[in-house]
Chain A
C-alpha cells in the first residue's frame, strides 16, 4: 500500500482545482456566447406585461420549418416572421388564446406544443398515462407472484411442530 505524502496530496489537489477552473471557464464561455446571440434581437413593447406574455407564447409555439424547436429558440426566417406576428398581435390587444387561434388557423395545430385534447390528439395525451397504468399493473402482478407462498398461520404451526420435535430429540439424547 502506498501512502500519499503531504506534497503529493497538494499536487493532486492543485490538478483538480485546475481542471475545475478550466471547466468553469468553458461553461462561462458557452453561456456568454449564447447570451451574445440571444442579445441580437431587440423587441420593443409598449407595456412590460406584454413582454412577459410574448416570452411565454414564443416558448410554447413551435417553428413549422425547423421542427422540434420553438419560436424562441429558432433562428430560421419563418420563426423570425412568426415572432413578429406574435408581437404585432399582442400590441393589437389580443389575448393569448386568440393569438394561438390565429396561428392555428394558418399553420394548423402542429404549431402548438400543447395542443387541445381532441380526436386527433387523443393518442398523444392518453398514451403516457395509459402506459404508466399498465406499468403499475405489471409491477403489482410481479410483486404478488414473487412473495413467499405459505400463509402466516401455516408457518406458525410448522414452527411449533419443529420446536416440539427438536425438544423431543434433545431429551432423548440427554437420557
Chain B
C-alpha cells in the first residue's frame, strides 16, 4: 500500500500531462454553435443583386446546402473564395450571406472574383447574423435538405476542412437525400 503511494505523484503528473496535451489540439476560438441539429432561423432578406428580390427560409430547404457568411471587409474571405468557386463547380449548393457590408462593394467583389453562390442574401445590419450567432466572418453552415443546421465551420473552408468533418457530413446528408 505505502509502496503504491509513492507512485501517486507520477500518476498525478501523467493525468495533468494528458489534460494539457489534449488542450494543445483544442482551438478555443472555435465556439460550439447553439443551432446544431436545430432549424435554420427564419428570415426575410433582400438579395445582394436587387432590393426587389426577397428571400425566405423556404428557398434554403429542399437540398443539402452550405450557407457561407462573407463580407468584402473580411480578409479571410478572400483566401476562401477560390475554394468556394471550386466547390460550386463540383455542384455543391452554396448560399451566400453577405454580412454587414455594402451592396456596391459586394457586387464588385462577385464580379472580380467569380460568384459561387446560387443565391446571395443581403444582411447589412447583421440581423440574420445575430440569429445565427455569427461572431466573425467567414463562417459556413451545413444545412440538410429539411433546413436543419448540421455543422458550423468558423474560419476559412479549405481542402483540409472539406476533407474533414464538414465535407464528410455534407456527403453523408447528400447520400441520405439520394436514398429517399
Residues of A within 8 A of B (CB): 64-65, 67, 77-78, 81-82, 85, 104-108, 110
Q: Choose from B29, B32, B100, B133 the contact partner of A106 (Cβ within 8 Å).
A: B133
Q: A78-B136, A106-B35 known; 14 other A-B pairs, CB under 8 Å? A: A64-B135, A65-B135, A65-B136, A78-B135, A81-B126, A81-B130, A85-B130, A105-B34, A106-B132, A107-B34, A107-B133, A107-B135, A108-B133, A110-B32
A-B pairs, top 5 by smallest CB distance, nearest first, are A64-B135, A106-B133, A108-B34, A107-B133, A65-B135
B31 CB–A CB distance under 8 Å: yes
Instruction: Give the CA-CA distance A85 to B127 in the complex, in Å.
Output: 10
Instruction: Give the CA-CA distance A106 to B131 in the complex, in Å.
Output: 6
B85 CB–A CB distance under 8 Å: no
- Tell me the nearest residue of chain A to B125, going by C-beta: A81
List, in ascending order, chain B residues with CB within 8 A of A108's CB: 31-34, 133
Counting chain A CB atoms within 10 Å of each CB, which of B131, B132, B133 scores highest? B133
Instruction: Give the CA-CA distance A156 to B32 in the complex, in Å.
Output: 69
With A78-B135, A78-B136, A107-B34 as known contacts, state yes or no: A67 contacts B29, CB within 8 Å. Answer: yes
What DSSP secondary structure best describes chain A's contact surface?
helix
- Tell me the nearest residue of chain B to A65, going by C-beta: B135
Instruction: Give the CA-CA distance A82 to B136 in the complex, in Å.
Output: 13
Residues of B within 8 A of A (CB): 28-29, 31-35, 100, 126, 130-133, 135-136
List, in ascending order, chain B residues with CB within 8 A of A104's CB: 34
Counting chain A CB atoms within 10 Å of each CB, which of B31, B100, B136 scores highest? B31
- Tell me the nearest residue of chain A to B28, going by C-beta: A67
List, in ascending order, chain A residues with CB within 8 A of B31's CB: 64, 107-108, 110
- Tell me the nearest residue of chain B to A107, going by C-beta: B133
Looking at the assembled complex, report how far the CB atom of B15 sits from the nearest CB atom of chain A, in whole angstroms: 13
Instruction: Give the CA-CA distance A105 to B135 in the complex, in Å.
Output: 14
Instruction: Give the CA-CA distance A137 to B101 in the complex, in Å.
Output: 59
List, in ascending order, chain B residues with CB within 8 A of A81's CB: 126, 130
With A64-B135, A65-B135, A78-B136 as known contacts, state yes or no: A106 contacts B130, CB within 8 Å. Answer: yes
B34 near A106 with CB under 8 A, answer: yes
Instruction: Give the CA-CA distance A110 to B34 in the complex, in Å.
Output: 10
List, in ascending order, chain B residues with CB within 8 A of A107's CB: 31, 34, 133, 135
- Tell me the nearest residue of chain B to A106, going by C-beta: B133
- Tell me the nearest residue of chain B to A77, going by C-beta: B100
Instruction: Give the CA-CA distance A128 to B54 in the complex, in Å.
Output: 52
List, in ascending order, chain B residues with CB within 8 A of A105's CB: 34
- Tell me the nearest residue of chain B to A79, going by C-beta: B135
Looking at the assembled complex, report how far the CB atom of B102 sits from the nearest CB atom of chain A, in whole angstroms: 15
Looking at the assembled complex, report how far the CB atom of B161 sits from the nearest CB atom of chain A, in whole angstroms: 20
Looking at the assembled complex, report how far the CB atom of A109 sits from the nearest CB atom of chain B, in whole angstroms: 8
Instruction: Give the CA-CA distance A104 to B100 in the complex, in Å.
Output: 22
